[in-house]
Amino acid sequence: MINFSRLLRSQSTIYVLMLLAFAAHIPAFNNSFQLSWDDGKFVVDNEFIRELSFSSVKKMFSLSLGIDYYHPFTTLAHAVVYKFWGLDPLPYHLLNVFFHLMNIWMVYKLVHYLANLTEVAILAAMIFALHPMHVESVAWVIELKDVMYAFFYLSSLLMYAKYARVGKLTYLFYCAILFVCSCLSKPAAVSLPVALLLLDYFIKGRIFFKDLLYKVPFFALSLFIALTTLKMQANVGALDMTPEFNSWQKPLLVSYSVMFYILKYFLPLNLSALHLYPSDQQALPLMFYLAPLGLIALIVILWKVKPLRKEILFGAAFFIVTTALMLQIVPAGMAIVSERYSYVSYIGISFIVSSLFFYYFNDHKRTGYIPVVISLLTVVLFASTWQRCKVWKDGVSLFTDVVAKNPKRDYPHYALGVAKGIKGDHNGALLSYNEAIAINPSNAEAYSNRGNAKMKIGGDVGSAILDYNKALELRPGYVNASFNRGLAREILKDVQGAEEDFYTTLKYDPGYTKAYFALGNMYGAMGKDSSAMVSFSRVLQAEPSSQEAYLKRGFSLYNLGQAQQACNDWEKARSLGNAEAAEYLSRYCK
C-alpha cells in the first residue's frame, strides 16, 4: 500500500507530478497553429523567424518592429525551432510543454525554499501543473512567451530568495541576469522588482534601505520595458480596441477582474479563450457592482484568519502584484480578463491554500482526509486540463467554444468565420459573418470578410463589392476592404476603379505590398510592362525574399527587352525555391 504521507514528503514526487502534467497536455500535441489568432502573425507568417543569422537576430531585438509586444527571446526560440523543423506544429507545442514542466519544478523549489515544507511545495506545484486556467499559456503556440518569461521570473525569484537568506552577492547577480531574460521574453516580467520586495519582507520580516537601493536598476529596467510596451501597443492600435468607460466604472472593472481570477482558481468552469468587456458601457451587469463588495468581504475574512498570517499576506500580495498589470488599469485590447494572466499569479493563491490546507489537517489531526482530497483534486484537474487542451485543437474548435460561451456577441462569430475561411469552409464562414452582422451591423471587418467569402464561394462579385462598400462606409481607410474591392473591380474589368482602390490602399498603408503586387499583375496583363516592373520592384524593396515577385518582374523585364536582367530575376526566384523559374531559365536563358 502507498504511504501517502511519505509520498507527499518525498522530493521525488515532483517528478511524478511532471509526468502527470506531461500526460495531461498530450492532446495539445495534436493541435495545429491558431492561424486566425496571433499564431499566424507571430509564427507562421513571421518573416523574422525564417532566418537565423546575426542580422535577423539583430532585427528581433530591435524596438521598431511594428508589433504590440517586445519579446525577442520568444521570437529567437521560434526561429531556432523553424530552423530545424519548419512549420510542423508539434515541436512548437513540445517546447511550450517543456517550459511548463520546468516551471513546475521551479514552483516546487521556490515554495519549498519559502515554506520549508515539502508537502506544501508538492501541493502548490500540483495545482500549478494541472490547473485548467493554465492551458491557454501551454497549448497556444504564441504563448511560449508566457511559459518562457515565467521560467526566468521564477528562477530570478529563487536566486533572490537565496540572496536574501544568505547575503551572497553572486545570487543577486544571477537574479538580475534572469530578470533581464524574463523581460526579453514577455513584458509582464516588469512586476518582478516589487515581488523581490515581498521576498525581503517574507524572509527578513522587514525591508531595509539597502534592499530598496539594490532594486533601483530593476525598477529602471521595468519602467523602460513598460513604457516601450505602451508605445508599441499605441502604435499598432491595441489601445484603441478597448471600449470607453467612465472614470467611476474603472474601479468596478478592476474589482471584477480580481474576483474573476480568484473565483476561477477555485471553480474553473465556463472557461473561454475570450472574456470580452461588457457590450453596454452605460449599464454594467450586476456582477460588476457586486465585485467590490465580494473583494472587501474576502479581505476581511483573510484578515480574521490568525494562523499563518505572514504566509497569507505574502501570497495575497504576490497574487495582486503579478496580476496588477493585467487588470486593465491602462486598458488594452478587447478582453477584460484573460486566462493566461493567471499563470504566474496563481502561485500566490496556491501558496496560501497549500499552507492553510496542511496547517488545518495536520494541526487538527485530520490527516486521513489528506489523501482523499488531494487524489480527488488531482483527478479533477487532470481531466479538466486534458479536455481543455482539446478545445485548442485549431481555430474552428477554439472559436466554436467561444461562440458557445458568448452567443450574443459579434466578435466570436466573426472570429469563427475567419477560422472557417482559413480551413477552406467558405460557406460556413459566410454563415458566421452573417451572424456577426446581425448582432452588430456596424462590424466593418465582418462585412469585408463576408465579401471575401462570397468571392471564394461562387464569384458573386457584385454582392461582394456591396459588402466592401459598406465596410469602407463604416471605416474609411480600411485597407483590407479597399484592396479586396480593387481585386473585385479588376474581375469586372473596371481597371480604373481597381487601380484607384489599390492606390487608395497604399495611401493609407504604404507597407501593404499586396497592393503593389496586384498592380504589377494588372499592369502586366494590360501590357504595361514598365509599370508592372516598377510595381514588382516596390514589392521586392519591402520583401527581398519574395520569389513570386522576382518571377513576375522577370516577365516584365523580358518583355521590355532586358533579357539578362530577366534571367537574373528568374535565377533569384529559382534559388528561393520557385520551381516555375527553372522552366523559364531553360527556355529563355541558354
Delineate the domains of the chain, giving CATH numbers in brackets. 4-395 (no CATH), 525-590 (1.25.40.10)
Q: Is the dihedral of CA 285, 333, 453, 272 positive or negative?
A: negative
User: pTM, whole model, 2 decimals?
Assistant: 0.89
8-state DSSP, 545: T
CA dihedral 165, 171, 176, 180 (to 10 degrees): -110
**What residues contact residue 71 under an 8 Å CB cut-off, 6+ apart?**
145, 149, 184, 185, 186, 187
CA–centroid distance for 326 within its chain = 13
- Exposed e or buried b per residue across 39-75, where buried means at least 16 C-beta atoms within 10 angstroms of its C-beta: bbebbbebebbeeeeeebeebbeeeebebbbbbbbbb
- The mean pLDDT values, 10 residues at a time, for the chain of 590 residues are 63 90 97 87 83 81 65 90 93 97 97 92 96 96 96 97 92 95 93 95 88 90 84 60 70 91 96 88 83 91 86 95 80 82 96 92 71 90 97 95 95 95 94 96 95 88 94 95 95 93 94 93 92 93 89 90 90 88 84
Confidence (pLDDT) at 279: 77
Write the burial class of residue 575 (CB in 10 Å: 0-12 exposed, 13-18 middle, 19+ buried). Answer: exposed
8-state DSSP, 9: T
Confidence (pLDDT) at 1: 43
